[in-house]
Chain A
Amino acid sequence: MISIEDVSFGYSGEHGTLHDVTLKIRDGECILLCGESGCGKTTVTKLMNGLVPHFTDGCALEGRVSAEGLAVAETELYELAKRVGSVFQNPKSQFFNLDSDSELAFGLENQGAAPDFIRTRLKETVRNLRMEALQGRSIFSMSGGEKQMLAFASVYAMDPAVFVLDEPTANLDEDAVKRLREQLRFLKRQGHTVVIAEHRLWFLDGLIDRAVFLKNGRIERSFSGGEFFSLPERERIDMGLRALTPPDGALPPALPCGAARGLSVEGLACGFGKGEPVLRALSFSAIPGEILAVSGKNGIGKTTLTRCLCGLMRERAGTVRLNGRRLNRKQRAKAAFCVMQDVNHQLFSDSVFGECLLAAPGCTDERVKEVLNRFDLLPFQEKHPMALSGGQKQRLAIATAVLSGKELLIFDEPTSGLDYAHMMEVSSVVRRLADEGRVVLIVTHDREFLRCACDRELELREEGL
């Protein structure tokens, strides 16, 4: 049982993040917290796992929160950790160990459980969650989906009564999302209480008992699971929520190689060192004005293709042409740009304006301002790039690419963890780039985004294409 009573909260002194939130969650209930980015749903999860107020210095908290009979504000985090388990959004930063076995045991070892008990419990965990394939692996050999599963399993090993998950699917492909769905179903059957804050919603159909909709830090509406998943399309969009039904339907396939304009890839093969090729005999075209989605399971070679097209990696065989002209690796690095998944890696300057000049040193101030204006960044030109929001950073990276005259733009998972409004914003930006005659490729496993933003789809499969 979790009870939140009249809670108002702000991270820095004054209230502002949450207002008068009251929520009771019964044992064994499965609850969805939804709403736009910044609506306060992550903060509500932190109320339950104790990160608020224990991990937020200088915050202002009013009201009472109790979880499993413990008053959260007065209980040590390590006591709370035994009853409330937390899975976070970013699979990269949830590990304390470098191998999966150590990580699974970590929570129980911290509690000082007997080694024999830990061993039994770990066997159970591996069996119940069917994660034999993840045993004895190095963290660095695991995909995002596998890491997220390991994070989930290492919390499960501690056997908490309550599971709190904050955007667990942000970095998962469709198969991994389906697996998570099965695991949540299993938790429910075992009588655990589950609280999940999410943007992607369709996979929770039939799983949740209640949906709580937050807006500007208040609980606006509350639905039963059935009511929520039969919301009319119009209303769902007005609320700023993403699709409630699994995205279906296919896009037309990518054009065959040989296009006279745009990108033409002919018989491309890539691989690392002396190993088996990751890609072999891959051929397709992408023409200006159209947006081509690149999809396929984790680990199928999407990133390898991106790196090869951007000239970060040499091809083993095959040809890459742009507007009919054959490009070698160095020429590709000049003509192509990749907007990375973590855009923080590619912003280097101390101001938005400086970032643009760094990318295109010969550019006139007028030209820079014109481009910044086109991407709605002009008011922020003096700001530090790291002070921008995620979407603004993404647009700044695109602006630098446009300024340096790149013709081929590749986006690597541009919508991971985005709400409906931001997803639509990204799709309008990429549409504009395509309309201006650039070749745009989007690597994504977010099928909802793929359906609404792209024109054609290149699905990478086991045997090339």
Chain B
Amino acid sequence: MSMQKHLRIDPRTGLLLLVMSNIIAFTQNSFSVETGWILFLCLLAAFCGCGRAAARWLLAFCLLLGLQYYVFPVSAKIIATSFSIFANYTRRMFPCLIVGMLMVKKTPLRDLIVGLRKWHFPQKLIVAVSVTLRYFPAIREEAGYIRDAMKLRKIHGLQKVECLVIPLMISATGTAEELAAAAVTRGIENPAPKTSVVELRLTAADGACILAGVLFTAASCLIR
């Protein structure tokens, strides 16, 4: 077993890769560019310690290809036409999904915030982004409790939605108030420029990733 540390990419590199994946998704027409880009991203994910997930993405990609090239041509027309568009667009989304997964799994919220700050994003936007991201897991936890409570109360059908949303909203207002009190007593309103223990530095690996991204993007725009 190798215990070597995994590669870490800068959150800014991640964001750039995400943007480029989007451009490639909507411009590419060449099969080799698409496949090359996906292979590259899966390799990157594997180096970052998401080897299993990368393998799964690759497998899913091959399955989709198999469907499109071997199954749809010989199946009934109605199935082929209704599913081939779906399959095609899912394939196009793959790079974005892979980069997204990589960032969610490997980039701590704090690094992302520091990255955005370095790019001089407005502080207001950063606070909004961080609070939103902070809330999702908390809401999932709350929703779990409420679902448990509903199971003990025989609540069915549409009622479930109402019964989930109302307690969630009530508890969210309470939480928001308490959270805000905790934040202001820790000086979040301090106008002094904020510092960070995390120091982000773009490494050679980041440079290589960005270079590869630029090349693929250019190729996807040029090769028709």
By a beta-carbon cutoff of 8 Å, the part of chain A in contact with chain B is 49-51, 54-55, 76-78, 80-82, 84-86, 88, 90, 92-99, 101-102, 105-115, 118-119, 122, 140, 151, 154-155, 158, 307, 310-312, 333, 336-338, 340, 342, 344-348, 358-359, 386, 400, 404
Contact = CB atoms under 8 A, between A and B. Distances in A.
Q: Dominant SS at the A interface? A: helix
Contacts of A77: 184-185, 187, 189
A81 B187 contact: yes
A88 B137 CA distance: 21
Interface in B173-217: 174-175, 178-197, 199
Contacts of B178: 88, 90, 93-94
B152 interface: yes
A312 B151 contact: yes
Contacts of B141: 140
B145 interface: yes
Nearest to A313: B148
A124 to B, nearest CB: 14
B97 interface: no
Given A96-B134, A112-B195, A114-B195, A102 B110 contact: yes
B16 interface: no
A345 B153 contact: no
Residue of B134, B162, B184, B196 ringed by the most chain A CB atoms within 10 A: B184
Q: Dominant SS at the B interface? A: helix
Contacts of A345: 142, 145-146, 148-149, 167, 171
A160 B183 CA distance: 15
Nearest to B171: A344
Contacts of B170: 344, 386
Nearest to A350: B166
Given A107-B186, A118-B197, A346-B167, 16 more contacts: A76-B189, A77-B184, A77-B187, A81-B184, A81-B187, A85-B185, A92-B138, A98-B137, A110-B190, A112-B193, A140-B137, A151-B182, A342-B171, A345-B148, A346-B153, A348-B163
Contacts of B218: none
Interface in B129-177: 130, 133-134, 137-138, 141-142, 145-146, 148-155, 162-163, 166-167, 170-171, 174-175
Interface residues on B, range: 35 or more
B116 to A, nearest CB: 14
B111 to A, nearest CB: 9
A405 to B, nearest CB: 11
Interface of B: 108-110, 130, 133-134, 137-138, 141-142, 145-146, 148-155, 162-163, 166-167, 170-171, 174-175, 178-197, 199
Contacts of A386: 170
Contacts of B137: 98, 140
Of all A-B residue pairs in the complex, the 10 with the closest CB atoms, nearest first, are: A112-B192, A346-B149, A93-B178, A78-B190, A81-B187, A78-B187, A348-B163, A102-B110, A110-B187, A86-B185
A358 B175 CA distance: 27
Nearest to B152: A337
A92 B174 CA distance: 11
Contacts of A151: 182
Contacts of B110: 97, 99, 102
A337 B152 CA distance: 6
25 contacts: A50-B185, A55-B180, A77-B184, A77-B185, A77-B187, A81-B187, A86-B185, A90-B178, A94-B178, A98-B134, A99-B109, A110-B187, A111-B192, A112-B195, A114-B195, A115-B197, A115-B199, A151-B182, A158-B187, A333-B152, A336-B152, A340-B145, A344-B167, A347-B167, A348-B155
A135 to B, nearest CB: 13
